[in-house]
Every structure is written in structure tokens, then in C-alpha cells.
Amino acid sequence: SQQGEEDPQALSIQEGENATMNCSYKTSINNLQWYRQNSGRGLVHLILIRSNEREKHSGRLRVTLDTSKKSSSLLITASRAADTASYFCATAPGTSYDKVIFGPGTSLSVIP
């Protein structure tokens, strides 16, 4: 698998349900970030979790990080139609900030 690989590739849920997306990576990291992209243009930063953190919350978002498994999950609770977007995780191996790796993303569709 690739560094920063998300799964599932696509997810379709009903409004009000929770959505969970996963990200796996291969090398050691200092932090991991999640981004959202609407309409194939600019990405918006959602949340950053540091390697010494296990869980972080921001509004309806909950991110977990398991460095032993080199994986992270993004949970969106009580989803809304406006959450329909592609979600990407991003990492930079170790201190190599010049090798930013984004996964292929999870396409989330929230059906009203």
C-alpha cells in the first residue's frame, strides 16, 4: 500500500449517520493531517494530530492515531449533506518536510 493511503475509496451514507475513514502510512511521522476537498479544487485543512497524541476532536470530527499500526481514522458524526466531499490524509516522513504525501482520498457522499 502507499504511504498515506485511505480506505474506503468511496463511502455513501444517509444524512445523520456517522462516517469513518481510515488512513495508513509507512514511515515514521511527526504529525498527520486530514484535509477536505470540494469540487476538485483547493483543499481545506480539517485537523492535525501529532505523533504523541492518540485522539483529537474538533466539532463533529474525531481523529485517532495509532503509531504502532501506522494508521489513523477520521470519524464524522451526525453527517450532513454539506459533508459530501473527498477526504485526504497527509503526512511527511520523519523530518522530510519536502516529501509531503497525500493519499488517494476517500470520496464521501451524504444522501439527504
CA torsion 40-7-57-61 (nearest 10°) is 50
* 110 lies in the site for another protein, by CB under 8 A: no
Determine the Cα–Cα distance for residues 25 and 69; give it in Å rounded to an integer. Answer: 9
Q: Does 102 bind another protein (CB under 8 A)?
A: yes
What is the size of the binding site for another protein (CB under 8 A)? Answer: 29
C-beta closer to another protein: residue 5 or 83: 5
Using rule CB under 8 A, residue 101 touches another protein: yes
Contact call for residue 65 and another protein (CB under 8 A): no
For another protein, the closer of residues 15 and 70 by Cβ is 70
Among positive and negative, which fits the CA dihedral 21, 38, 3, 45?
Answer: negative
Tell me the C-alpha to C-alpha distance, in Å, between residue 56 and each of 48, 61, 81, 107, 112: 8, 8, 23, 22, 27
User: Does residue 30 interact with another protein by CB under 8 A?
Assistant: yes
Q: Which residues in this chain contact another protein in the complex, by CB under 8 A?
A: 29-31, 33, 35, 40-45, 48, 50-51, 88, 90-92, 95-105
